[in-house]
Structure 1
Amino acid sequence: MLADLATRGVVVQSVSPGPLEVDAWREAHHPRALVRPHHVHLLDLQGGWDEVWSHRFSKTSRRGVRTAERNCVTVERGTRGELLPEFYALMERAVLRWSRQQHEPAWLARRRLHRRDPREKFEAIGRCLGDRFQVWVARVDGRPAAACLVTRGANAHDFRGVMDEELKHYRATDLLQARAIQDACEAGCRYYYLGESGTGTLGQFKERFGARRIVSPEFRFERLPVSRVERGVKAAVKKIIGFQD
């Protein structure tokens, strides 16, 4: 596969194994490939919901779920993208909040979001996957407080999540995550994949629900020095606008 990618006339392309195929890729290499660590989290659902809840969720997560229930947080699951408007509105609000914190112009933050994750992309996923595409929304007094996107087959893949920072004390995210994991257990899924995590607090959050960090190699092929140029341009732009990581 790596040899094939190296022969293609594409400026930038990358590939990394899924969390269940990591061992088979440990020794893979190619002289033209840039290799960097790829951090993801995977939750083993063996034993079913009772086992996951009692022995894999941390005390902090179980307490958060109970707090959300006492706060009358409600959770709804939609399929085929019917709840996407609420999810995307939450995402846009979160992006604007992050832009203020990082001294990034709002127009630039919106442009990055709409280029990287346009709403049309998620709508297309919903049309293609139908009932296997789930949008989960947690609400406080009818107001969306957290949401996530999950695709489901033999395993479940939670690949986008967002929350309303103003409502975080309701612990809606904990209840949302628990309900989506419980649903995957009851559907007979073997694993619940929580996606890319990096090395910061996001990974720690996922580990509270029993997910295990897996580091796999990511192979990147560049016909031009795109990564080096990107780093230089980003550093210059951040300096100009006073961006704070």
Structure 2
Amino acid sequence: MSVGTSLEPGLRGASGDPRPLRVTSPAPVDVWEQVLASAPNALPSQTPTWLRCVCLVEGYEDVSRLYETADGRRLVLPLVRRPGLGPILATDFGLPVGWGPGGLVCDGGELHPEDVRMVVTDLGRRHVLSTLVRPDPATAATWEAAVPASVLREERMTQTLPLDGGFDEVWRKRFRSDTRNRIRRAERAGVLVECDDTGDLVRVFQQLYRESVDRWARRDRLPLPLARRLAARREPPRKLSTVAAMLGSRCRVYVAYHEGRPVAAIVVLLGARTAMYWRGAMLEKLAGPVYANYLLHKTAIADAVAAGCTSYNMGDSARVSSLELFKSRFGAVSQDYASYRIERLPITPLVQRARGGVRRILALRQVRE
């Protein structure tokens, strides 16, 4: 069902940038697939199948946008929206929290600043409360060069391991020596890794995830029932099972076993040339001493190379964190990028100021009491 189609031949925006010749929403799946076929470096989270997973699990509706320019180029922006609100009250997400980066995918895979300018201008004209876009980190420089300074930004950092040269090159020149040693120690300790792309290991991952939630709750001093409710809302059990069923062989669950017991697991998604580490869980006291996570990622990286991938996206990390250090030990390169919130009216600054005012009032009351 088309949410809205506009034809704007020969028009120019206020900035002088050309408007698209045609905008179609939702983006037709067949055209989207054609664009992806010419952009092999696109992320697994930039596909129509992924967007269907988001909608099925979270209850969103597809409001993706296909842009066709006067010179015949096509660009697709994955977007979803909560149904029933109407555009004036709606916030569009590309993509929601927990679903990875979205952003533009275009014919040929080469994104230009004028493409970003055109799309941001279009998004700013719509009668939508807010649009949050989290682009592919690999295109960060292009987005930053084109997005106006007035657009709100959330700074992020991701880490990606280049896989060019083959696994032997990655092993010898990108893995740190202490990483290779930890992998060998895991193998000597008897850690075994099982890989599945049929969904059979989803339940094993989910059990490890539930135990991880309990550990995080103890670490963060959260009441256990509250932590479990928040985790179930953020990562409902149907999420991974839906992704595994929809993506098939493109979704791989890796589980590390020690002494016959599952101690750690990761989920890796495969695109044409980009593998994406999506989720992880472990029993820290059992997995840590035997370096199970090192062997898990080594196995997944070797498989990604064998599948023809040229990069292994390890996801976002906080600067100067243990997670950043762990990923860097595999040779993952840090990349700064940003999410962008495009609003017709400055709603977010007003909300942030209101929240800040409430916090200051509460702090004053505590001081007086």
When normalised by structure 1's length, the TM-score is 0.88
SS at match of 2:276: strand
Instruction: Give, in whole Å, the separation in 1 of the partners of 2:233 and 2:127.
Output: 23
1:193 to 306, 313, 336: 313
Letter in 1 for 2:324: G
Partner of 1:44: 162
The verdict on how the C-alpha distance between 1:229 and 1:96 changes in structure 2, with shifts beyond 3 A counting, is farther
The verdict on how the C-alpha distance between 1:9 and 1:66 changes in structure 2, with shifts beyond 3 A counting, is farther
The verdict on how the C-alpha distance between 1:11 and 1:72 changes in structure 2, with shifts beyond 3 A counting, is farther
Partner of 2:140: 22
Deviates more, 1:45-54 or 1:121-130: 121-130
2:348 matches 1:225:
yes
Instruction: Give, in whole Å, the separation in 1 of the partners of 2:322 and 2:217.
Output: 18
2:269 matches 1:151:
yes
Instruction: Give, in whole Å, the separation in 1 of the partners of 2:204 and 2:224.
Output: 20
Partner of 1:173: 293
Shift of 1:181: 0.3
Letter in 2 for 1:73: V
Partner of 1:160: 279
**Which runs of no fewer than 5 residues in structure 2 stay unpaired?**
1-118, 364-369
Letter in 1 for 2:311: Y
Deviations 1:48-81 (A, max 9, x none): 0000001100112111101100110000001132
2:162 matches 1:67:
no
Deviations 1:101-139 (A, max 9, x none): 211011111111111111211111112111111001001
Deviates more, 1:56-65 or 1:221-230: 221-230
Partner of 1:243: none
2:320 matches 1:202:
no
The verdict on how the C-alpha distance between 1:197 and 1:47 changes in structure 2, with shifts beyond 3 A counting, is same
Deviates more, 1:96-105 or 1:48-57: 96-105
Deviations 1:193-222 (A, max 9, x none): 111112121111101001000001211246
The answer as to whether partners of 2:252 and 2:267 remain within 8 angstroms in 1 is: yes
Instruction: Give, in whole Å, the separation in 2 of the partners of 1:12 and 1:107.
Output: 33
The verdict on how the C-alpha distance between 1:230 and 1:114 changes in structure 2, with shifts beyond 3 A counting, is farther
Shift of 1:20: 2.2
The verdict on how the C-alpha distance between 1:100 and 1:14 changes in structure 2, with shifts beyond 3 A counting, is same
SS at match of 2:246: helix
Backbone CA RMSD of aligned residues: 2.5
Q: Larger Rg: 1 or 2?
A: 2
2:244 to 93, 109, 126: 126
SS at match of 1:189: coil
The verdict on how the C-alpha distance between 1:67 and 1:10 changes in structure 2, with shifts beyond 3 A counting, is farther
**Which runs of no fewer than 5 residues in structure 1 stay unpaired?**
240-245
Instruction: Give, in whole Å, the separation in 1 of the partners of 2:130 and 2:298.
Output: 37
The answer as to whether partners of 2:120 and 2:342 remain within 8 angstroms in 1 is: no
2:195 matches 1:77:
yes
The verdict on how the C-alpha distance between 1:24 and 1:175 changes in structure 2, with shifts beyond 3 A counting, is same
Deviates more, 1:37-46 or 1:153-162: 153-162
The verdict on how the C-alpha distance between 1:139 and 1:15 changes in structure 2, with shifts beyond 3 A counting, is same
The answer as to whether partners of 1:43 and 1:210 remain within 8 angstroms in 2 is: yes
SS at match of 1:213: strand
Larger relative contact order (CA 8 Å, sep ≥ 6): 1
When normalised by structure 2's length, the TM-score is 0.60
Letter in 2 for 1:184: A
Q: Percent identity among equivalent residues?
A: 37
